[in-house]
Amino acid sequence: MIEPGTSTTSTGTTTTGTTTTGPKTQGPRATGPVFPLTLGVEEEFLLVDARTLRVVPAAPLVLSTAAGLPHELHPEGTRYQVEISTPVADSAAILRSELAGLRRTLARAARAHGCRLLAAPSPVVALEGPLHLTDDEPRQREQARRFGALTDTLVSCGRHVHIGTLDVDTAVAVSNRIRPWLPTLIALAANSPFWGGRDTGHASWRAMAWAGWPSAGLPPHHTSTAHFRRSVQTLLGSGAALDTKMVYWDLRPSGNWPTLELRAPDMSPDIDSAILQAELARALVATALREIAEQRPDPPVRDDVLRLARWRAAHDGLEGFGLDPYTGVELPAADLAEALLDLVAPELAASGDLDHASRTMAGLLRDGSGAHRQRTAFARRGDLKDVLRHLVDETEAS
């Protein structure tokens, strides 16, 4: 394996929007990571008709049936979608248990209304009829008016991983160090090759479609918390975002919680893959905190190279090639994934996650990404319904 970068080929501070309500600091905390850094995950699902497997605007009905857990089950941007939010977890094992329980609850509620749960980034086939946004609140009407056809991409599902507890100063500093690995995390999660009834030629078309929003894509490198806040204000002032909820960067300090939020991964049915993303994210944060404590400079990464690396990850996924974010050299995506695992192995070991992360990574490299499995299902008969059945079966098996 070629290592990327070679020359060959808990403060408890709460954040709201871009401000902090706790004591302000002059920079990130100057201590190494103390476990457990906490974990939390938001997962978005599509609802499909149990017979036709087409998406249906049944979210209000499904959520009313599953109303016993009001703090963990939520509406999303459209009535085709539902979201689960796990409680804060100290360990990957607890996170897995919470995810599994919430998924089962939501699947039962969906079946009660003739629906199935689809853990997929896209509906695979084209929507029928007009777009059904969540209710008819003024904010969504204004979003649709201002951004037009971009709102069609709201019918897509991602997985958001929260790592805490981090004050906003620390979250900004850590983000700078993690951003070179965002393309590799996208490749590992790639699960949206089909969109609107066709193969897009990309392993993660969601990553490409979502990047069309002017407030989405790679986060800037921020030299300070003040710089981060100016970037957010520029988005608002330019009209690129209605409010701070529309800061859609792949990685950002959360607007609601004292966490760093990873938003890049596609949604996938496999719980082990979900836990892997959380484990890698936490280990990356821990590694960054250690480097900050050791006063190491931020890694030198060119934005143009990182932008191309993001596209290549979305295009090739895990089965093809990617770009070394430090040199721009083309490398097998599997090598980049293994390099990431090697980088954070000490922190994975410290949190007790190394065995699971290694096994899950090996399984993905052996059996293929979600995008690869979707294309394998389609190749049998050339029928997109086979892809949908595959996704529903994988979702319910988890």
Q: How does pLDDT run across 17-26, given as a tens digit for each residue? A: 333 323 233 3
Q: Which residues in 6-111 belong to E strands, given as ranges?
A: 15-16, 19-20, 38-49, 73-75, 81-85
Average pLDDT score over residue span 315-330: 96
Distance CA 51, CA 354 (A): 41
The tokens describing 202, both together, are: 């990309």
pLDDT value of residue 35: 52
Average pLDDT score over residue span 132-160: 87
Cross-strand pairs, 73: 84
* Nearest of 292, 35, 264 to residue 176 by alpha carbon: 292
What's the CATH number for 15-397? 3.30.590.20
Domain coordinates in residue numbering, the chain: 15-397
- Cα-Cα-Cα-Cα dihedral sign, residues 368, 184, 192, 174: positive
Cross-strand pairs, 160: 42
Q: How does pLDDT run across 9-52, given as a tens digit for each residue? A: 333 333 333 333 232 333 444 444 445 799 999 999 999 999 99
Contact 66, 106 (CB under 8 A): yes
The residue among 69 and 159 whose pLDDT is bigger is 159
pLDDT value of residue 68: 66
Residues whose CB falls within 8 Å of the CB of residue 328, separated by 6 or more in sequence, listed in order: 302, 305, 308, 309
pLDDT at 290 over 70: yes
Q: Is 203 helix (H, G, I), strand (E, B) or coil?
A: coil
The residue among 379 and 298 whose pLDDT is bigger is 379
**222: how many CB neighbours lie within 10 A of its CB?**
19
Using CA atoms, how far residue 77 sits from 58, 85, 144, 246, in Å, is: 13, 15, 11, 12
92-131: burial string, b at 16+ Cβ within 10 Å, e else: beebbebbeebbebbbebbeebebbbbbbbbbbbebeeeb
pLDDT value of residue 139: 83
Q: Sort strands 330-332 and 321-323 into parallel, antiparallel or unpaired.
A: antiparallel
Q: What are phi and psi of 123, to 5 degrees?
A: -75, 0
pLDDT at 293 over 80: yes
Contact 194, 317 (CB under 8 A): no
For tokens 């480097």, name the residue: 291
- Cα-Cα-Cα-Cα dihedral sign, residues 384, 195, 204, 229: negative
Mean pLDDT is lowest, of 136-145, 154-163, 258-267, 272-281, for 136-145
Mean pLDDT is lowest, of 12-21, 70-79, 153-162, 209-218, for 12-21
Average pLDDT score over residue span 139-160: 91
pLDDT value of residue 381: 97
Q: How does pLDDT run across 267-276, given as a tens digit for each residue? A: 999 999 999 9
